[in-house]
Amino acid sequence: MIWVVTDSLGAQFLRGDLELPCPNCEYPFWVTGVDVVAQVIVLCPCCRGRVRLVDSDGSMQNAAQVVEQAINEALRGLFE
């Protein structure tokens, strides 16, 4: 079996799920990294409160790049 990766590791990281507590009722719910980067508004599945996801310093997008660089450096030379 051959595995083909079509997305970068950073893109895969941003599509990954993150668990966050609702700021209103503390109920944990899941969002994607892309939701945080896009700063969308989601509804809490428990209290139905509106939660605005904020990435004021761009740390989610920067984290995706840092993770991809670290993995690429670790794998460098293994497949050459």
The label of the residue with tokens 């941003």 reads: 14
Share of the chain above pLDDT 90, in %: 28
User: What would the two tokens of residue 5 be?
Assistant: 């990766």
Mean pLDDT estimate for the chain: 78
Q: How far apart are CA 18 and CA 28, in angstroms?
A: 10
25-47, pLDDT tens digit by residue?
999 999 988 888 788 899 999 99
DSSP states along 13-30: HHHSEEEEE-TTT--EEE
Residue-range domain boundaries for the chain: 14-75
